[in-house]
Amino acid sequence: MATRGGFSSRLGFIAAAAGSAVGLGNIWGFPFEVGQGGGAAFVVIYLAFCFILCFPVMATEIAIGRKTEKNPVGAFTALGYKKWNWVGKMGIVAGVLILSFYNVIAGWAFGYIFEMASSNFGIADQFGEYTTKIFKVGGYGLLFMATTAFVVSKGISGGIEKAAKLLMPALILMILTMVVYSLTLPNAIDGIKFYLVPDFSKINGSVIYNALGQAFFSLSLGMGALITYGSYVNKKENIVTATALITLADVGIAFIAGLMIFPLIGFMSGGTMEGAAGGPGLIFVTLPQIFGTIGGTLGTIVGTLFFVLLCFAALTSTVSLLEVPVAYVVDEMQVRRKRAVWIMAGIIFVVGIPSLLGFGYSEFFSTAFTTFKEGGTDTDFLSFIASVANDSILPLGGCMIAFFAAHIWKKENLDEELAQGAPNYKGSFLQKYMNFAVGYLAPIVLGTLFVLTVLFKFFGISII
């Protein structure tokens, strides 16, 4: 049998996994969740989830992947627990759903590169109209999906790893330049206050559920993306250090994205921070307005750069999302990689069409989901899918993966795999914490939050 391929170096794996984590979730999702969650209080809860709960789940996913060298479904079977492979199947469904809507947003962002490059800052006021031009934005989406498929079809070291090593440093450089610029604007300080000084009276159930969903989504957890990437990792690698670096990169870039955007909103609103709660449209409306105020060639350059950056970040994530179902089909159904890639990409694009239509083009997909009770508001199709996949399936998947690893596969085996390549792991404080977190904390907290989220989002029942 042909080999499955693998990452060629330690840096390659970390770049690819960090590339998966860093994406629209950081630059588009995080600021709008912070805005809607009332600012710094959301940030505090989000950070707590990332380090206390998500870190152990990430190390566990990578360990399961490396141990079995399999996709998320095959991994459970390979460990001898075929009955558990529904967790992997659920992850693959989540991956398909997430990529289906993710690609729609990536398509918008892709189109914005050309709008900005032609100094069309007025697009800010026409965003509502822009999203209804489905042949235009759908066409950009199709191109984006094709680019993703192209990278994935080149394989692990030749495609995914190469792209990540090139795109990630470029992204970091661009975003830091933007932060420096935005911090020098008048009223930047009001943005920083909103972002960093917490007002805990703003915390409620919905803030907590969204922070959890956002943490899982941003770290690419709960659906086996990191089981899949883990399956291409060398046995000599130190999983624990890699997990730390990936988490820090992801949280760090989300944090910096906030440092870039909130000062801009401070500037734009004259310090009132009005518009911070702009929701999913935030970066597509507020930012172009700002680029317009900068004006001239500089405005055009900064605006274009920003959306190029956003597309880079999105691409290293869509690649990992597509890799999950592709690895499944390649491993389990013996389909050739190239074939699997293009078929899956096609199917997922089609699954994304209702999300594409749900921003004004189709009344039905834009508002027909009124019976869906997310806090009692009307919901479009994309938000509905995001609530199902990000906020519900991912935490449930994380809960099941942790429970499985500690109690079914057994924590001794998990310890053994994590200790490979990490000589000081055994007996360390971290090992004790991991045992506690994977065995008890994560299953209990994630299980509880999953139930509360579903009750609240789908049945309108609010317990906290």
The window from 130-138, 313-321, 401-409, 453-461 that contacts ligand PHE (CB under 6 A) reads 313-321
The minimum distance between CB 215 and ligand PHE, in angstroms, equals 10
* Contact set for ligand PHE, span 12-71 (CB under 6 A): 20-21, 23-26
Q: For the chain, what is the HEC assignment?
A: CCCCCCCCCHHHHHHHHHHHHCCHHHHHHHHHHHHHCCCHHHHHHHHHHHHHHHHHHHHHHHHHHHHHCCCHHHHHHHCCCHHHHHHHHHHHHHHHHHHHHHHHHHHHHHHHHHHHHCCCHHHHCCHHHHCCCHHHHHHHHHHHHHHHHHHHHCCHHHHHHHHHHHHHHHHHHHHHHHHHHHHCCCCHHHHHHHHHCCCHHHCCHHHHHHHHHHHHHHCCCCCCHHHHHHCCCCCCCCHHHHHHHHHHHHHHHHHHHHHHHHHHHHHHCCCCCCCCCCHHHHHHHHHHHHHHHHCHHHHHHHHHHHHHHHHHHHHHHHHHHHHHHHHHHHHHHCCCHHHHHHHHHHHHHHHCHHHHHCCCCCHHHHHCHHHCCHHHCCCCHHHHHHHHHHHHHHHHHHHHHHHHHHHHCCHHHHHHHHHCCCCCCCCCHHHHHHHHHHHHHHHHHHHHHHHHHHHHHHHCCCCC
Both tokens assigned to 287: 């930012």
Does the footprint of ligand PHE cover residue 311 (CB under 6 A)? no
The minimum distance between CB 319 and ligand PHE, in angstroms, equals 9
The window from 148-156, 167-175, 213-221, 340-348 that contacts ligand PHE (CB under 6 A) reads 213-221
The minimum distance between CB 317 and ligand PHE, in angstroms, equals 4
Angle, CA of 189, 211 and 308, to the nearest 5°: 65
Select from 79, 145, 225, 302 the one that contacts ligand PHE (CB under 6 A). 225
With CB under 6 A, what is the number of residues at the site for ligand PHE?
A: 15
Does the footprint of ligand PHE cover residue 217 (CB under 6 A)? yes
Residue number with CB closer to ligand PHE (210 or 317): 317
Does the footprint of ligand PHE cover residue 321 (CB under 6 A)? yes
Residue number with CB closer to ligand PHE (168 or 273): 168
Residue number with CB closer to ligand PHE (217 or 359): 217
The window from 1-9, 116-124, 218-226, 240-248 that contacts ligand PHE (CB under 6 A) reads 218-226
Residue number with CB closer to ligand PHE (185 or 248): 248
Select from 148, 320, 362, 431 the one that contacts ligand PHE (CB under 6 A). 320
Residue number with CB closer to ligand PHE (15 or 419): 15
Residue number with CB closer to ligand PHE (386 or 437): 386
Quick note: the x/- pattern for ligand PHE over 89-128, rule CB under 6 A, is: ---------x------------------------------
Residue nearest to ligand PHE (CB): 25
Does the footprint of ligand PHE cover residue 317 (CB under 6 A)? yes
Does the footprint of ligand PHE cover residue 220 (CB under 6 A)? yes
Residue number with CB closer to ligand PHE (320 or 355): 320
The minimum distance between CB 103 and ligand PHE, in angstroms, equals 11
Which residues sit at the interface with ligand PHE, rule CB under 6 A?
A: 20-21, 23-26, 98, 217-218, 220, 223, 225, 317, 320-321
